[in-house]
A and B are shown apart, each in its own frame.
Chain A
């Protein structure tokens, strides 16, 4: 009920921000911060009274109950962790769009993206899950198509077609579950409720023929892999990230990969009883290939924005590995593996948002985002480059930052399944570390590129905005148990 109220408030604020003529930035900034605060306090209240890992705060509004369309909401620790991520990165995205000449349309679309993500995470009904899944794509498409940089038209179309292809397969899988559930229930009733369609009693029953079980898994997997993005469905990624303006890139990197990850742990994990080990090995190998391949590609980039785009995709490879290995393992290792995967989505979202936001300031100060045109800027802008360095270190998985917790738990728990293949993962991590350090060394340190002229460091507000993100990453890295423990409970229930 409370969650639903926050969501409705968010929708109202979004509608207002579309039509606001004066001060649209201030309005959307404050309203997104308000949503962040409300979600945060809601999470604190709900978890302070103990959490058992089930779906809590269920609420349902019957729209067309006879054909199973209800607006059902519910939350778990997975949902709330990712809601926290969403509501955290949208204000950052809006914040860095401050000084640009944007109208209400821009901020309205940014807020609409948040509506889509928020609705996606709280929906417990498949039709609304799908509607919000699509509701994220359209504003992001428009943001790239209207405000993008070079090649914005091809980039936005490519982005939309890839994700739409994923969505239609998602729809097919939903329809398949729906159609078989109709015959499965003795009373032949329609339901689109996630909890009943994903219940292991139904999915592992003989009501679904073996072929259709593969079909369901394929559809979901395809949709989520496009969003991650995972090898080989990634070719929209460099264009979209590069062409999108920075605020949108922040949302793309943090928010859209979140959708794929959320699908992994909210839909594929409950379906784990029908995922055969051959499919799991495909997921794992795609994860490993993503990690190694994208890291190698990122190393070749001379453009920092593109490098970060591939770095983002590479670290989502860990999520693939975590799901695949986690289902195969049992007991404490499985829990640690899967929880690490969820934690990786959260950590990756925060870190990549921080990196892109910082890179935006570097671009704004120097006008450059190419590694060769920068160099030694630490001399001129020490605070900015320190925060950027912090982000890079967090991204490569240095202990003390949130990324380390998830990567460590995934790698440590994977050994029993992957065996010697673990060296490939570690190889990927080494490449990741090396190009992060290399990029930091070439851009931030070394001799200053005098052609850049005198630079001013960022102001107090900017330091507060991106600094707070770094602080959150540090807190989650030093004391992970505030969220890790809750996520473990969620995974325990499903295993």
Chain B
């Protein structure tokens, strides 16, 4: 096969978005020799990510299997690929002021991370998933360390070490999966040998659970989110988490579909522990960013309820609803959590405490209203998008006859109201003489997140359409 034929083959054209992003990333690295203005690179990254979405829609919209089933292009993968790019788009422009030197490296890394994310979104092979996931991890290790303070380096180091341990768990788990299934392909697993499958299940779960920051693998996340620049925390807690969620869905629901009972018990236990721990820890926390970090842990607990419903497998309708809820939740989550982390930037001090927000409502009512919208959306109060995400999640729990789990989740969401609403109360205090940073790189992300909390509600019009994507999780 000559090279012209290769370039025209359908296998190759599906990779055009990735290749495009890679080319731009290398161009950035070359330009970096001469130009040092971060705004240039962030604009470049922004535009090329937008173009990448366009390319994805053009080249990856038709259902196909490429590279003998390793990558499977369908609407489900496309949905996740696009929302992960959106999570990068969301942080690209505001991040400029936190990138002080070598901006070309930061944005090129971001593009490389996006390439890995797109590949992972379509992949059905454990090894390809592993490599793509490592690509994302290594990229985010670099991005976390983009700051000079001691806390920052400490966070990056912690993230790096725990991440490496997680990687070894994934590798080990993959090996056991191979022993048990006889293949690295997640689809059409004919039989799983019982003596190694549980080891594979646990090891893969621990490895990917690290990235999703499930309790008890969450502690790195609290420190890493706390110590990183705000835009990087926003990206870490949204883009990479959504990726980890997608991979967990795919591995445990597709690869371990013969072991759905174990998957059900595992995720039920972990989701209850994660939700409860995240919420209770957030209540006693006074550091603003750590409150959001713990709330992000709790939100991951809600997300993996999807696996409990599908593992329990009561009815096809409930399973579809659950996955649909997971998709919508991921999209909403990007803006609500991202907006929350950006709002920390309002406080000018290092190490912002929750009391530092006091008086915000009187100094900048628009910001206060935006944060209120984001917070009530996190708490799941209508008519925000966060409510509809939870609504569909709980609906799927009820449809799947897991009423007691729904009660636990709902009591948890009522507990979480306390620490979200406490922030609102503090914002309305009059005694504060705090100064707030209302520069555009803080103002716009927060305002956009608040607008999205209403705009995304309109997406429920499209739910009947999105519901047809759901089966794409299980392959073409």
Contacts and interface: CB of A to CB of B under 8 A. Distances in A.
Interface of A: 64, 66-67, 69, 130-131, 134-135, 137-138, 141-142, 145-146, 152-153, 156-157, 160-161, 164-165, 168-169, 171-172, 175-176, 178-179, 182, 212, 215
A168 B397 CA distance: 14
A138 B421 CA distance: 10
A179 B398 contact: yes
Given A64-B463, A146-B428, A168-B413, A161 B418 contact: yes
Contact of A178 (B395, B410, B426): B395
Interface of B, helix, strand, loop or mixed by DSSP: helix
A134 B381 contact: yes
Contacts of A182: 317, 399
B422 A161 contact: no
Given A64-B460, A157-B425, A176 B418 contact: no
Contacts of B426: 153
A175 B398 contact: yes
Given A64-B461, A135-B382, A168 B414 contact: yes
A137 to B, nearest CB: 8
Contact of A67 (B407, B411, B464): B464
B391 interface: yes
B381 A156 contact: no
Interface string B433-476: 00000000000000000000000000011011000000000000
B403 A160 contact: no
B382 A130 contact: yes
A169 B414 CA distance: 10
17 contacts: A131-B382, A135-B382, A135-B383, A141-B421, A145-B425, A157-B422, A161-B417, A164-B381, A164-B417, A172-B398, A172-B407, A172-B410, A176-B403, A178-B395, A179-B395, A212-B403, A215-B403
B424 interface: yes
A431 to B, nearest CB: 34
Nearest to A215: B403
A146 B360 CA distance: 12
Nearest to A156: B425
Contact of A157 (B317, B418, B460, B461): B418
Contacts of B361: 146
A172 B406 contact: yes
B328 interface: no
A25 B221 CA distance: 49
A320 to B, nearest CB: 23
Interface in B338-364: 361
A130 B395 CA distance: 14
B417 A160 contact: yes
Contacts of B382: 130-131, 134-135
A168 B411 contact: yes
Counting chain B residues whose Cβ lies within 8 A of the other chain, the interface size class is 20 to 34
B394 interface: yes
A179 B394 CA distance: 11
Given A153-B422, A169-B410, A172-B407, 20 more contacts: A67-B460, A67-B463, A131-B383, A134-B381, A137-B381, A141-B421, A142-B428, A146-B428, A153-B426, A156-B425, A160-B417, A161-B414, A164-B417, A168-B410, A172-B403, A175-B391, A175-B394, A175-B406, A176-B403, A179-B395
A134 B421 CA distance: 14
Contacts of B394: 171-172, 175
Contact of B411 (A165, A176, A215): A165
A4 B326 CA distance: 35
B234 interface: no
Contact of A171 (B376, B391, B403): B391
A169 B394 CA distance: 11
Contacts of A176: 398, 403
B362 to A, nearest CB: 10
Contacts of B383: 131, 135
Nearest to B414: A165
A178 B397 CA distance: 12
B395 A66 contact: no
Nearest to A146: B428
Contacts of B411: 165, 168
Given A175-B395, A178-B395, A179-B398, A66 B417 contact: no
A141 B420 CA distance: 13
A171 B410 contact: yes
Contacts of A152: 425
8 smallest CB-CB distances across A and B, nearest first, come from A168-B410, A131-B382, A165-B414, A179-B399, A146-B428, A175-B398, A145-B425, A153-B425
Contacts of B418: 157, 161
Contacts of A138: 376, 381
Contacts of B399: 179, 182
Nearest to A137: B381
A142 B373 CA distance: 13
A435 B255 CA distance: 70
B234 to A, nearest CB: 26
A142 B461 contact: no
A352 to B, nearest CB: 26
Contacts of B391: 171, 175
Nearest to B315: A183
Contacts of A178: 395
A161 B382 CA distance: 15
Contacts of A67: 460, 463-464
A134 B384 CA distance: 11
Contacts of B379: 164
A20 to B, nearest CB: 14
Contacts of A131: 382-383
B394 to A, nearest CB: 6
Contacts of B398: 172, 175-176, 179
Nearest to A178: B395
